[in-house]
């Protein structure tokens, strides 16, 4: 196993010359064994990045290394669940699992696949086309986990699951990843759900990396500040600030001790992400890579 699961350098990908690139100059490093939340607004480039890492789209510019080689070379060791979960509609759940085993004869982990199917109480005789969207997601995840991947790429896996199923599936995924040291990259718009299960964060905006690095380090680099509306935030980097009446609330990257005229607290993951989403032009921050960069 390599120490780095995914490394991107000046990574770019466009779909047509006239359109803004889906990914542009992206650089980050994700250590093997980490569980990474991939977040960003609609159209930020999350699905494109996952499809590139899965080896399903050719890289446009720059370099993308997956499990120490090219994405295409790593495909056998990568599990990928796309947003549209392509499955054969005419097969039953049981036939789909058998199909997964036949496609991955050397790696197939029947126990992991069966566990996801059993937890969702899926009948193995039901045809895929007769399943609800959420249940299809479970089958797609069972296939991905059964492949016993070293890297699991999940594109909004929880989007069509009910809250209980989300909770159960998150626990299963995390237990499985911890047991096998699997690297997981999971995109989601429900940031609160990622809290507590991810140790890395990659925030994309308009195809660029806005935040990347170990979650604890990124959180520690920011403070949520409150004070009077006229409080000075200099010389700190202000990601986002809002005033409501006489009250100032801001997310800052302190450049030293904060002034005595403000109170501060550690932000939650959701506060960190929301502030960056509300301030799409705030300076980017990348931590824990080959070098630390604030751009
Ligand atoms: N196959 C494609 N053909 C043309 N444009 C594409 C294609 N795939 C993605 N794009 C464009 O690339 C940009 C990034 O899209 P992408 O789906 O990667 O974003 P996303 O962050 O996953 O968005 P969402 O949160 O809405 O799923 C968008 O402008 C999108 O229109």
- 205 with 264, same domain: the answer is no
How many A from CA of 130 to the centre of ligand 1?
29
pLDDT at 15: 94
Question: In terms of Cα–Cα distance, which of 73, 62, 53, 82 is closest to 21?
Answer: 62
How many A from CA of 24 to the centre of ligand 1?
13
**Range(s) of the domain holding residue 246:** 216-279
Question: 227 is written with which tokens?
Answer: 């004070």
d(CA 293, CA 295): 6
d(CA 169, CA 102): 25
Closest-lying ligand 1 atom to the alpha carbon of residue 204: 21
Determine contact, residues 207/44, Cβ cutoff 8 Å: yes
- 262 with 186, same domain: the answer is no
How many A from CA of 175 to the centre of ligand 1?
31
How many A from CA of 50 to the centre of ligand 1?
11
d(CA 88, CA 91): 6
pLDDT at 207: 96
Cα 268–chain centre separation: 17
CATH number of the domain within which 61 lies: 3.40.50.300
How many other C-beta atoms can be found within 10 angstroms of the C-beta atom of residue 68?
A: 15
- 13 with 157, same domain: the answer is yes
Among protein residues, the one whose CA lies closest to atom 24 of ligand 1: 42
- 124 with 18, same domain: the answer is yes
- 236 with 196, same domain: the answer is no
pLDDT at 295: 41
pLDDT at 129: 94
- Best mutation site among 13, 14, 15 for ligand 1 pocket (most ligand atoms within 8 Å of CB): 15
- 66 with 210, same domain: the answer is yes
- 11 with 133, same domain: the answer is yes
d(CA 30, CA 246): 42
- Best mutation site among 18, 23, 46, 202 for ligand 1 pocket (most ligand atoms within 8 Å of CB): 46
Among protein residues, the one whose CA lies closest to atom 26 of ligand 1: 42
**Domain for residue 292, yes or no?**
no
- Ordered DSSP codes for the chain: --SEEEEEEEEEE-SSTTSPPSEEEEEEEEETT-EEEEE-STTSSHHHHHHHHTTSS---EEEEEETTB-HHHHGGGEEEE-TT----TTSBHHHHHHHHHHHSTTT--HHHHHHHHHHTT--TTSBGGGS-HHHHHHHHHHHHHHT--SEEEEESTTTTS-HHHHHHHHHHHHHHHHHHT-EEEEE-S-HHHHTTT-SEEEEEETTEEEEEEEHHHHHHT-EEEEEETT---TTSEEEEEEEETTEEEEEEE-SSSPPTTEEEEPPPHHHHHHHHHH-TTSPPEE-SSSS-EE-
Among protein residues, the one whose CA lies closest to atom 5 of ligand 1: 15
Q: Residues lining ligand 1, CB < 6 A? A: 15, 22, 40, 42-48
ipTM entry: 0.98
> Which residues of the chain are modeled with pLDDT < 50?
290-295
Question: 283 is written with which tokens?
Answer: 């300076």
What's the whole-model pTM score? 0.93
d(CA 122, CA 96): 12
Closest-lying ligand 1 atom to the alpha carbon of residue 44: 21
Among protein residues, the one whose CA lies closest to atom 29 of ligand 1: 43
Per the structure, the count of domains in the chain is 2
Closest-lying ligand 1 atom to the alpha carbon of residue 40: 21
Among protein residues, the one whose CA lies closest to atom 27 of ligand 1: 42
């Amino acid at each position: 196993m390599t120490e780095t699961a995914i490394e991107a350098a000046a990574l770019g990908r466009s779909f047509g010359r006239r359109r803004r690139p889906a990914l542009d100059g992206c650089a980050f490093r994700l250590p093997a064994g980490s569980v990474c939340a991939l977040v960003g607004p609609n159209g930020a480039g999350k699905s494109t990045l996952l499809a590139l890492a899965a080896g399903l789209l050719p890289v446009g510019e720059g370099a993308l290394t997956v499990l120490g080689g090219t994405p295409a070379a790593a495909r056998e060791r990568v599990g990928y669940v796309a947003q549209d979960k392509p499955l054969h509609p005419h097969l039953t759940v049981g036939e789909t699992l058998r199909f997964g085993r036949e496609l991955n004869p050397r790696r197939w982990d029947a126990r992991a696949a069966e566990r996801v199917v059993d937890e969702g109480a899926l009948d193995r005789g039901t045809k895929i086309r007769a399943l609800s969207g959420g249940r299809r997601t479970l089958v797609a995840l069972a296939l991905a986990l059964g492949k016993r991947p070293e890297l699991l790429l999940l594109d909004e896996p929880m989007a069509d699951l009910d809250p209980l199923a989300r909770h159960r599936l998150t626990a299963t995924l995390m237990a499985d990843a911890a047991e096998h040291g699997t690297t997981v990259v999971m995109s989601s718009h429900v940031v609160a759900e990622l809290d507590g299960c991810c140790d890395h964060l990659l925030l994309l905006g308009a195809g660029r990396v806005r935040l990347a690095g170990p979650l604890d380090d990124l959180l520690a680099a920011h403070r949520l500040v409150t004070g009077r509306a006229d409080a000075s935030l200099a010389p700190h980097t202000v990601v986002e600030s809002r005033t409501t009446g006489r009250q100032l609330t801001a997310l800052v990257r302190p450049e030293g001790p904060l002034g005595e005229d403000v109170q501060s607290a550690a932000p939650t993951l959701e506060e960190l992400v929301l502030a960056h989403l509300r301030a799409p032009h705030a300076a980017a921050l990348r931590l824990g890579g080959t070098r630390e960069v604030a751009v």
